[in-house]
């Protein structure tokens, strides 16, 4: 190699290393301050609600970020032999970088070779479904897959899929999907990259074998593959915590934490004597002694009783200290009612003056109620409120009880105005000649208390 070429190569490698180090610092959000300062000053945080749903279409800024992440992938290949080995085993891995870059657990797992190559496909009538690889621990499973075929473009999204065990039974757990629109222009046919994220139910193990089926166009395809449990056997750290804290007179106990390669599960129980309903801990996160923050992806259960929060994992960082932090609590009064007259479009009683009946629409065999909650500030918009209990009941003026109709869960829309955020929440009730007014028991409505929380976990 000529001296000039060697110098260029060395400069390129230094540049790639610098890019990688800078990007890692950004991804880890690693300030110089010690843990106590980090807790005191707070850290900006993007909160995930419940189990993450699909990502929508992305704009130019996100595409620029995707290009940056592809540079990061190149840097990994240059400076990380482990990552280079993984890329050789899973040639299509590069297309998933933009998908997983927002999840520190997945990035850390991949960079520590915690990934099982699969490279299995099914092809029918010109369509092809490929499972490139999986990431799995005792409670979470990530399936990285691609799809291609007639009519498939770089904006396509696979919406219909099935997840079964080896015997054909549905996998039980919280299941979500994420996709990255934008194919490889060098490919003759566009390829879409997607992944399925499964959080297993309490006490339910990940199956030894998975059957994954998806519909591409009008064609169903299925790929079966084993889950190599020996890859994550023994990779779990259980910490008994039993520490209590209080916010605005509401008491809670952190009972335990389970740390695995893909997530941290932390259980919090609410005191049964709490006077108000607890709805959400504001900006909850875990912070280690280096100031690194592990955000929450949501939780299983309800804070007003018992909830298991799911956090990004600290497993491969192996911190000496881990602290639970939060900025306060969303809460509401108990035993409140919402009284309306659907014939006159009138709100007669409400727990909050910003909450009212906005519209009643006749939709076939039911009435669609649009309830408006107006003027919410930034803190109050951290929760999508369940005003009424799912599949709950309401009463008419005669005392007769009626059931809310299930329309595939609660639907809502949000719009921002100069005076704050406006939430429109939609419920369906049976079409009937009701004796007015109608009374609904309130489950949640806006209200909060700001108070910093710091609970040592380890």
End-to-end CA distance of the chain: 53
Confidence of residue 179 (pLDDT cuts 50, 70, 90): low
Mean pLDDT computed over 132-158: 90
The pLDDT > 90 percentage for the chain reads 64
* More confident: 14 or 66: 14
**What is the token pair recorded at 225?**
């593959």
How many Å apart are CA 216 and CA 203, to the nearest integer? Answer: 33
174 pLDDT above the threshold of 80: yes
Superfamily of domain covering 3-231: Immunoglobulins (2.60.40.10)
User: Percentage of the chain surpassing pLDDT 70?
Assistant: 76
Least confident residue range of 39-53, 238-252, 323-337: 39-53
Confidence of residue 49 (pLDDT cuts 50, 70, 90): very low
Give CA–CA dist 185/98, Å, rounded: 16
- Is the CATH number of domain 237-331+449-456 3.40.720.10? no
pLDDT digits (tens, 9 = 90+) for 239-286: 999 999 999 999 999 999 999 999 999 999 999 999 999 999 999 999
The candidate with the shortest Cα–Cα distance to 335, out of 209, 440, 200, is 440
Q: Which residues in the chain are classed under CATH 2.60.40.10?
A: 3-231
What element of type H or E holds 74? helix 60-79
Give phi and psi for 63, each to the nearest 5: -65, -35
CA–CA gap between residue 293 and residue 451 (Å, rounded) = 19
Q: What pLDDT shows up at residue 163?
A: 96
This prediction has a pTM of 0.77
Q: Which pLDDT tens digit goes with each residue over 81-112?
A: 555 555 555 666 666 777 777 788 998 998 89
Task: Produce one character per residue of 53-79: b if its CB has 16 or more CB atoms within 10 Å, e if not.
Answer: eebeeeeeeeeeebeebebbbebbbbe
Mean model confidence pLDDT for the chain:
82
Tokens 């919406």 belong to residue: 159
Residue 227 three-state SS: coil
Of the listed ranges 6-10, 237-241, 433-437, the one predicted with least confidence: 6-10
Question: Cα separation of 1 and 450, whole Å?
Answer: 63
Band (pLDDT 50/70/90 cuts) for residue 43 is very low
Beta carbons within 8 Å of 133's beta carbon, 6+ residues apart: 89, 90, 93, 115, 116, 117, 118, 119, 144
Asked whether the predicted pLDDT for residue 293 surpasses 50, the reply is: yes
What was the pLDDT predicted at 155? 73
For 142-159, what is the mean pLDDT? 86
DSSP H or E run through 403: strand 401-403
- Residue 234 is predicted with a pLDDT of 95
- Which residues have CB under 8 Å from 183's CB, separation 6+? 153, 154, 190, 191, 192
Q: Please check the confidence at residue 62 and state whether its pLDDT lies above 50.
A: no
208-221 average pLDDT score: 95
The better pLDDT of the pair 50, 125 is held by 125
Question: Hey, which bits of 312-391 come out as E strands?
Answer: 322-332, 337-341, 346-349, 355-363, 366-376
Element (H, E) at 36: helix 35-41
pLDDT (0 to 100) of residue 330: 98
305, 274 contact by CB (below 8 A): no
- Collapsing DSSP states into helix, strand and coil, what is residue 337? strand
């Amino acid at each position: 190699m000529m001296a000039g070429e060697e110098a260029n190569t060395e400069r390129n490698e230094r540049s790639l290393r610098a890019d990688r180090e800078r990007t890692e610092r950004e991804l880890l959000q690693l300030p110089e301050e010690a843990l106590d300062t980090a807790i005191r000053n707070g850290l900006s945080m993007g909160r995930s609600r419940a189990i993450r749903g699909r990502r929508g279409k992305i704009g130019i800024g996100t595409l620029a970020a995707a290009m940056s992440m592809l540079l990061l992938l190149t840097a990994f290949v240059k400076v990380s032999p482990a990552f280079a080995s993984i890329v050789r085993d899973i040639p299509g891995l590069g297309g998933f970088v933009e998908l997983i870059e927002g999840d520190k657990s997945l990035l850390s797992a991949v960079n520590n070779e915690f990934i099982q190559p699969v490279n299995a496909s099914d092809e029918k009538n010109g369509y092809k479904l490929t499972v490139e690889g999986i990431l799995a621990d005792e409670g979470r499973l990530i399936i990285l897959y691609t799809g291609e075929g007639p009519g498939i473009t770089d904006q396509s999204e696979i919406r219909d899929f099935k997840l079964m065990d080896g015997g054909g039974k549905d996998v039980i757990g919280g299941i979500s999907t994420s996709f990255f629109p934008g194919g490889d222009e060098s490919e003759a046919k566009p390829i879409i990259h997607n992944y399925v994220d499964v959080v297993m139910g309490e006490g339910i193990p990940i199956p030894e074998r998975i059957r994954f089926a998806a519909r591409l166009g009008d064609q169903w395809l299925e790929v079966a593959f084993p889950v190599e449990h020996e890859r994550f056997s023994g990779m779990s750290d259980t910490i008994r915590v039993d520490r209590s804290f209080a916010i605005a007179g509401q008491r809670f106990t952190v009972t335990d934490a389970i740390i695995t390669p893909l997530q941290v599960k932390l259980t919090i129980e609410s005191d049964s004597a709490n006077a108000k309903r607890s709805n959400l801990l504001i900006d909850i996160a875990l912070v280690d002694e280096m100031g690194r923050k592990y955000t929450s992806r949501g939780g299983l259960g309800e804070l007003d009783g018992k909830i298991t929060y799911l956090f990004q994992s600290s497993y491969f960082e192996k911190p000496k200290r881990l602290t639970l932090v939060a900025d306060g609590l969303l809460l509401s009064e108990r035993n409140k009612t919402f009284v309306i007259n659907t014939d006159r479009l009138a709100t007669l009683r409400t727990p909050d003056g910003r909450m009212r009946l906005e519209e009643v629409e006749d939709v076939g065999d039911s009435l669609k109620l649009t309830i408006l909650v107006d003027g919410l500030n930034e803190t109050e918009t951290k929760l999508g409120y369940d005003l009424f209990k799912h599949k709950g009941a309401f009463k008419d003026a005669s005392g007769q009880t009626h059931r809310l109709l299930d329309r595939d869960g609660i639907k809502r829309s949000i719009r921002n105005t100069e005076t704050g955020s406006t939430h429109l929440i939609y419920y369906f009730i049976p079409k009937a000649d009701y004796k007015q007014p109608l009374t609904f028991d309130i489950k949640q409505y806006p209200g909060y208390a700001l108070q910093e929380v710091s609970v040592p976990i380890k």
